[in-house]
Amino acid sequence: MNYIRPILLSCFLMFFSASVAQAAEPEATTVLTDMFAWWNSVINTEVELTADQFRRYFTEDAVIMVNNNEQVRGVENMPAHFQAIRERAGTIGVELPFLEEFQSGNKIFTYHRIISTTDQGESITSNMGYAILDDGRIASVSLARFQSQ
């Protein structure tokens, strides 16, 4: 009978330590989420955008398509493309966490919003699509975008 208390205590401690360990683990993110978190941190600043910054997330020949129109191709062209976006908007940011995101193999599905403000007010676009990865980096992004407001 004296062995029941130590067994119950051991079971309780194992359950408690597993719960704490599980709660302490950070939520996994995708390279797409990581890229947009970085993008949000620099897009509304004066920080110079460089191809090397984009290389952390994109392959050399990566392409970004929106509504079946090529927006930019290649990391060497991304700084100028995103500088133009920076100059158009008063402020701009991708809402994180995404409304929906999941990864299956080398594809990441995303449904997210982009919020920008100008002198004319706030604009919200909804974006749904996917990214294809090559060796852990984004090789292409294809989004369908529509105005939310």
pLDDT digits (tens, 9 = 90+) for 76-133: 999 999 999 988 868 999 999 999 999 999 999 999 999 999 888 999 999 999 999 9
Asked whether residue 70 carries a pLDDT value surpassing 60, the answer given is yes
Provide the pLDDT for residue 19: 37
Element (H, E) at 147: strand 137-147
Q: What percent of the chain has pLDDT over 70?
A: 81
pLDDT digits (tens, 9 = 90+) for 97-113: 999 999 999 999 999 99
Per the prediction, the chain carries an average pLDDT of 86
Q: What's the N-to-C CA distance of the chain in angstroms?
A: 68
CA atoms of 148 and 43, how far apart (whole Å): 21
Asked whether residue 27 carries a pLDDT value surpassing 90, the answer given is no
12-38 mean pLDDT: 63
The string of DSSP letters for 11-70 reads HHHHHHHHHHHHHHSPPP--HHHHHHHHHHHHHTS-PPP-HHHHHTTEEEEEEEEETTEE
Asked whether residue 34 carries a pLDDT value surpassing 60, the answer given is yes
In Å, how far are 1, 7, 12, 71, 80 from 4, measured between CA atoms? 6, 5, 12, 67, 69
Q: Identify each DSSP E strand in 54-136 by its residue range.
A: 58-66, 69-73, 91-94, 100-104, 107-118, 121-134
